[in-house]
Amino acid sequence: MLLGSGAAAPTGLPAVRFGDAGLHREELWSAAAAVAERIAGAPAVAVHGEASLSTVVAVVGGLQAGVPVVPVPADSGVAERGHILRDSGAALWLGAPQPGVELPVVPVDGAARSSFTVPEPDPHATALIMYTSGTTGPPKGVVVSRRAIAADLDALADAWAWTPDDVLVHGLPVFHVHGLVLGVLGALRVGSPLVHTVRPTPAAYAAAARAGGTLLFGVPTVWSRITDDPGSVSALAGARLLVSGSAPLLDPVAHALRSAVGLSPVERYGMTETLITLGARADAPRRTGWVGTELAGVESRLRGEDGRPVPADGQSAGELQVRGATLFDGYLDLPEATAAGWTSDGWFRTGDAAVRDADGWHRIVGRMSTDLIKTGGYRVGAGEVEAVLLGHPAVREAAVVGEADDDLGQRIVAYLVGDGIEAQGIIDYVAAHLSVHKRPREVRVVDALPRNAMGKIQKKLLS
């Protein structure tokens, strides 16, 4: 079964808790069965992805019924929400009514109980239809099978020594891979209780850790804020494992955690289309900024723009391509986009630039389309340089781009926000941390970096 047998967790804690509200395993299964009974046979159902018990009950109910679940971001606007509902073909809306939703609404009640059951769906059946960020057009529906989710969660449980004896803590959104697939379905499949902090504040993480949390998920911003709060960071001393993802972890943050509690996070890499494919193991040495090795059932390779293999020397960047059991089944009703995402020999093109060393460890250095800079015969990932720049005490924000250069082809230019920035000192700082050819040739100090509505830096506006 995708989410296990439904037996009570050995700790006696609720299987899932959001803030002060919790459900034990048998209560969750029965409440979800009440949802499954009402939606069985639907082509797909949309779930309002707020951080609440009702979201978990709705998602589990959909999985029990064998109905594809469409998680809708809780902060989505009317236009985005409408696109997701139309594109996905969802027939029902699970959760509190929202502006612009014209579908029949199925209330979700954590106190409801039912013994409704259906046969376990085929492992190849669709579990989730998750929507991408839509950076190159309207969000696309990513079709994820039950088999892919099960394979990914089992591989992560192996890599992180994740067992029912763990208590998972996080405050991540429950409509994305990290917060929903890993952070909710992972806990349910493994059998470890989940404590969701609702909001990812340092105080909330600290309280959950003091109450017995052993496995903590976060993004670099969460870890950075925790290290800035001495009263909270000390509470993490009893944790077994910290996990960071969604962006590179910075050295100063990792060092601060090690100094305070003797732990620094393991990192991992994935996409909506692939789930998590690379991860540092719990028993491996910590290498900040490196996302680890292939998970069980996954293969990876690096290819240059000419399609040729890139050396595994820890320096040469190429496109990361993956294949294996965790990958999606395609973009919903978009066969051309699906086909374009794969190479002729069956590897998924992530579009991310990465380096790989001789031990199989990977480091993500940016996007191939915007962050791979060709300078003096070298290929340099902008993300790798940015990570070093953000470790400099004078730098608050950084964006690295390649600009046309008659001699080098492209020269590396760093746009920085900060106080007391001295250009040559910054250049020397990068050269001391990375290969000399990766240093910026020019430093430009600006008041702010251009960002879109989602907060992503718009590098095309830097010049």
Question: Whose structure tokens read 């991860």?
Answer: 279
- Band (207; pLDDT cuts 50, 70, 90): very high
Pairing label, strands 362-367, 348-356: antiparallel
Predicted pLDDT at 170: 97
| Angle, alpha carbons 39-42-47 (nearest 5°) | 65
H or E element, residue 82: helix 78-88
The pair of structure tokens assigned to 441 is 């040739």
| Angle, alpha carbons 272-244-425 (nearest 5°) | 110
Q: Give bridge partners of residue 18 from the DSSP assignment.
A: 21, 196
**pLDDT tens across 423-438, in order?**
999 999 998 888 888 9
What is the average pLDDT across 118-137?
A: 86
What is the average pLDDT across 444-458?
A: 83
Predicted pLDDT at 136: 56
Predicted pLDDT at 248: 84
Predicted pLDDT at 129: 98
CA neighbours closer than 13 Å in the CB half-sphere of residue 281 = 12
DSSP secondary structure string for all residues of 149-218: HHHHHHHHHHHTT--TT--EEE---TTSIIIIIIIIIIHHHHT--EEE-SS--HHHHHHHHHTT--EEEE
Residue 66 in this model has a pLDDT that exceeds 80: yes
| Residue type at position 56 | V
366 Rama class: left (phi>0) / alpha (psi -120 to 50) / beta: left
- Band (282; pLDDT cuts 50, 70, 90): very high
Predicted pLDDT at 434: 85
Predicted pLDDT at 246: 84
The pair of structure tokens assigned to 72 is 């809708």
Instruction: Show the domains of the chain with their CATH numbers.
Output: 16-199 (3.40.50.12780), 265-367 (2.30.38.10), 372-461 (3.30.300.30)
- Band (461; pLDDT cuts 50, 70, 90): confident
Higher pLDDT, 139 or 111: 111
Neighbours of 362 (CB within 10 A): 26
At a CB cut-off of 8 Å and minimum separation 6, what does 107 contact? none
- Band (6; pLDDT cuts 50, 70, 90): very low
**pLDDT tens across 312-352, in order?**
999 899 999 999 999 999 999 999 999 999 999 999 999 99
Predicted pLDDT at 134: 53
Predicted pLDDT at 455: 67
- DSSP annotation of 240 reads S
Ranking 224-233, 420-429, 449-458 by mean pLDDT, the lowest is: 449-458
Distance CA 4, CA 300 (A): 29
Predicted pLDDT at 454: 55
The pair of structure tokens assigned to 368 is 């191939």
Predicted pLDDT at 10: 60
Pairing label, strands 348-356, 395-405: unpaired
The pair of structure tokens assigned to 446 is 């600006």
Positive or negative, the Cα torsion across 75, 77, 78, 81? negative
Predicted pLDDT at 297: 96
